[in-house]
Structure 1
Amino acid sequence: MASVVTGGAGYIGSHLIDYLIEKGDDVISIDDYSSGNYTNTRAKNVKLDLRLAYPEIPKGAIIYHLAANPDVRTSMDNIYDHFERDVKTTLNIMEMARKYDAKLVVFFSSSTVYGEGRIPTTEADKIDPISNYGLFKVMGEEILSFYARNYGIRGISLRLANITGGRVSHGVVIDFIKKLKKNKETLEILGNGKQRKSYLYITDLLSALDVLVKYFKGLYDAFNIGNDDWVTVDEIARIVEEEMKLSPKHVYVDAGEGRGWKGDVRFMLLDISKIKSFGWLPKYSSAQAIRLAVRDVLDKI
């Protein structure tokens, strides 16, 4: 099977490439290396800015589209950069899919499309993002849906919970570890520490992808991919501290209403009944995913 991974030098993309190659796929990785630097020498690695162009790919390939600016926080300030990397790039990918008759496009969307909705949140719940990152993911989903309806290109949008594990480049785990490496006595926590969200370990995401690619037979649909439980930021801090054998004082920096920053969703728990109907279950809980990710990161430092 020919597989194309956009954003293949990044965190999730690099794990996906390794996984696909081990399965025996012929993999093309496309990235401009602006935020990631991973290279698997067994893949065909194409350095390209997907905002400007797209390469020739094999007919009938599966496209896994991850290329984007992954930082939710900076989307509130660097609006045009995020728009181009998150929306314009997606349009170009769908044109690539149309030209080369892609078998399937898997778009890596986000739970941020829901904003702060009902808990747990189902795929049928209101789309109401509170960050530009979430807004641009909604636009990406709409582009996929449009191309499915009008050009017959099959698509799946994955509304992801927080994905964590080795090679993670941003987010609370790496943030806490970096801060504690600099200062073992004090840990700055964005928000009030009571934000509660769902986390999924990277291998559970890969197994979910495997299930959907095998068993989804529709034209287009969106799926929540996350865990059945959630953890608070304070609980994450304790896990990091336990693994680093530290007991720092906590200092909270509240951006208002208990948020870590403007656009921060305080509570996120996805209803994953839809993908469960395909036979998928996460192996690790949210707390276990965090602990495994902390160990992954510490092993590389």
Structure 2
Amino acid sequence: MANLSGKKVLVTGGAGFIGSHIVDRLVDLKCKVTVIDNLSSGQKRFIQEHLKSKKISFSKSDLLNFKAVKRLMRGQDFVFHLAANADIRYGTANTKVDLEQNTIATYNVLEAMRLNNVKEIAFFSSSAIYGEPYIFPTPESFLPVQTSLYGASKLACEALIQAYCNLFGMKSWIYRSVSIVGERYQHGVVFDFMKKLNKNPHELEILGNGKQKKSFLYVKDCVNGIFTSVENAKDSVNIFNLGTEGHTTVDRVAQIITAQMGLKDVMFKYSGGERGWPGDQPFVYLAINKLKGLGWRQSVRTDEAIRRTVDWLRENEWILRERR
């Protein structure tokens, strides 16, 4: 349980999709916010309003630069750690990226916290740590076998956080999240489909067979879940699934996107197989009873969350052009 109002808070990845929404909430709470982001995927314009009003400070730094992390950690009360490699597919081509950008970066954050006597951290993990579970909806207690380097690196991060909490008296909130969508979204299946459809509005390539079952949570519901648990969960290590009441298929996502873009008679072409790429999870559906027990509720259903994402991307086509 933490009261963040007026506190000094460090946000890694704070110029990113979810991180910038965390920053918005912290500014509302009148926190003194420091953002660390190397801008490899983050967008400074997402936090530009706060920078102009001098409500936050920003450092373009990489978490692998331990001296910078240690310096910026000085005097902080709380850490939101969201910076990470988010491209699961890329990890198979460059097998160091998840180790470095996820696990080693998290170690640097934790060690900087220890040396500066900062005791509280909220960490954004992933549903990828569950691999390919056989229990649905999947509870936090499920013991996973890893199927991706990304998932393995995130699980290693969780283990490091738990060890630091037990050894050095820290407290943590860990979030195993499904895919997040909404305003400022810039990576994932909705993004990929829209880029393809902008190039060819008559045909859409879908990786896998389109039958993969996925969960998509609206970003503001995600942020509400994070703050609900930070403000109410009392254990030394608090682990929560961030998910939805149901799930959908990749085919359904494609149908929603094409309809929202006003496209008709789009031909779907499939690469085949039950997963889109090595490490892809064919079924993601998390149990959310634990978070609901703290009073949190999903307010925006999946179809509407995807529609809002499509609308935002259409209004901000610069990001479709700039992001690969």
TM-score by length of 2: 0.89
Q: 1 CA distance for matches of 2:227 and 2:74?
A: 21
The answer to whether residue 271 in structure 2 is matched with residue 253 in structure 1 is yes
CA offset at residue 169 of structure 1? 1.5
Query: What is the distance in 1 between the residues matched to 2:281 and 2:29?
Result: 36
Q: Does 2:38 match 1:32?
A: yes
Counterpart residue number, 1:209: 226
Secondary structure of the corresponding residue to residue 185 of structure 2: coil
Give yes or no for contact 2:9–2:76 (8 Å, CA) kept in 1: no
The equivalent of 1:234 in structure 2 is: 251
Deviation, structure 1 residue 36: 1.6
> What is the rounded CA distance, in whole Å, between the counterparts of 1:9 and 1:140 in structure 2?
21
The Cα of 1:100 is off from its aligned counterpart by 2.2
Q: How does 1:109-124 map to 2 (within 5 A)?
A: 109-117=125-133, 118-124=135-141
CA RMSD in angstroms, aligned pairs only: 1.2
1:52 and 2:68 equivalent? Answer: no
For residue 77 of structure 1, what is the aligned residue in structure 2? Answer: 93
Offset of residue 202 of structure 1: 0.4
Distance in 2 of aligned mates of 1:147 and 1:217: 17
CA contact (8 A) 1:165 1:296 kept: yes
Aligned partner of 2:166 in structure 1 is 149
Shift of 1:32: 1.3
CA distance in 2, matches of 1:104, 1:188: 44
Sequence identity percentage: 37
**Conservation of the 8 A alpha-carbon contact between 1:224 and 1:271:** yes
Task: Report whether the alignment pairs 1:100 with 2:116.
Answer: yes
The Cα shift of 1:101 comes to 2.2
Matched, 1:268 2:284: yes
CA distance in 2 between counterparts of 1:148 and 1:28 reads: 23
Q: Is residue 187–residue 249 contact of structure 1 (8 Å, CA) maintained in 2? A: yes
CA distance in 1, matches of 2:142, 2:24: 34
**What one-letter code is carried by the residue in structure 1 that aligns with 2:72?**
E
- 8 A contact 1:97–1:153 mirrored in 2: no
Aligned-residue offset at 1:94: 0.3
**2:320 — aligned with what?**
none
Offset, 1:11: 1.2
Determine which of 58, 67, 73 is the counterpart of 2:83: 67
Is residue 198–residue 227 contact of structure 1 (8 Å, CA) maintained in 2?
yes
Give the unaligned 5+ runs of structure 1: none
**Inter-partner Cα distance in structure 1 for 2:143 and 2:93:** 25
Partner residue, 2:209: 192
Please give the alpha-carbon distance, in whole angstroms, between the structure 2 residues aligned to 1:129 and 1:20: 34
Matched residue SS, 1:224: strand
Letter of the aligned partner of 1:93 in structure 2? V
Contact 2:215/2:285 (CA < 8 Å) preserved in 1?
yes
Residue identity opposite 1:184 in structure 2: P
Q: CA deviation at 1:60?
A: 5.0
Equivalent residue in structure 2 for 1:169, among 167, 179, 186: 186
* TM-superposition CA deviations, 1:58-82 (whole Å, max 9, x none): 5351100011111111112211022
Q: Work out the CA distance in 1 between the residues paired with 2:142 and 2:98.
A: 25
Is 1:158 equivalent to 2:175 in the alignment? Answer: yes
Runs ≥4 residues deviating over 6 A: none
Distance of 1:202 and 1:65 partners within structure 2: 16
Tell me the amino acid that sits aligned with residue 7 of structure 1: G
Which secondary structure does the structure 2 equivalent of 1:17 belong to? helix
* Cα deviation digits, residues 122-171 of structure 1 (max 9, x gap): 00112222111000000000000000000011011100011111221110
Q: CA deviation at 1:299?
A: 1.8
Secondary structure at the aligned position of 2:96 is classed as: helix
2:27 and 2:33 in contact (8 A); partners too: yes
* Mapped partners of 1:114, 1:82: distance in 2: 16
What displacement does 1:221 show? 2.2
Give the TM-score, by structure 1 length: 0.96
State the one-letter code of the partner of 1:228. Answer: E
Provide Cα deviations, 1:4-49, integer angstroms capped at 9, x if missing partner: 1001121111121122112211110001112222243031101111
Per the alignment, residue 303 of structure 2 pairs with: 287
Gapped regions of structure 2 (runs ≥ 5):
1-6, 318-324
Q: Distance in 2 between matches of 1:286 and 1:72?
A: 22
Answer yes or no: is the 8 Å Cα contact 2:119–2:169 preserved in 1: no
The one-letter code matched in structure 2 to 1:253 is S
